[in-house]
Homo-oligomer: A and B are copies of this chain.
Amino acid sequence: MKLNNTSQYAIRILAYIADHKEKSLLSAVELSTALVIPYKFLTKIMTELVKADFIESIRGREGGFKLQKKASEIKVDDILNIFNDSIKEEECILGIGFCNGMCKCALHDQWMEPKLLMQKMFRESSLEDIAGRGCKI
């Protein structure tokens, strides 16, 4: 029961960029070094974030990355969705087919409250809410 590696990296990357808006651009090398994420893997993730329109990339010398939206407009849940790591409405916690509302699984009653709270947390927390809040980056 945890976020996958790629989601974790993506959240940290975006939070870091949001927290360094004084620098107009951050390069992959800078990010990779600051966040201790393997360079080649980071660039792969960056490309996905660019395609998802969260990040704008400037190519060529002096290029780099910056947010394409306001930090308050990117929610943690949006990031998880890119990597298929969000808590899915229709998916049963026990992996039994789909939620149809009619037929519950054994854990349903216990699961609903934490599920809703986590969804709320992921959906309501924006980059602005989390950027620069930790001493761990």
A interface residue numbers (CB < 8 A to B): 1-3, 5, 8-9, 11-12, 15, 76, 80, 85-88, 91-97, 102-111, 113-114, 117-118, 121, 125, 129-137
Whole-angstrom CA separation of A42 from B8 in the bound complex? 32
Whose C-beta in chain B lies nearest to the C-beta of A8?
Answer: B95
**B3 and A3 contact, CB distance less than 8 A:** no
Quickly give the copy total for this chain.
2
Question: Which interface residue of A15, A86, A94 has the most chain B CB atoms within 10 A?
Answer: A94
Whole-angstrom CA separation of A58 from B50 in the bound complex? 57
Whole-angstrom CA separation of A109 from B132 in the bound complex? 12
Closest CB of chain B to A89's CB: distance in Å? 13
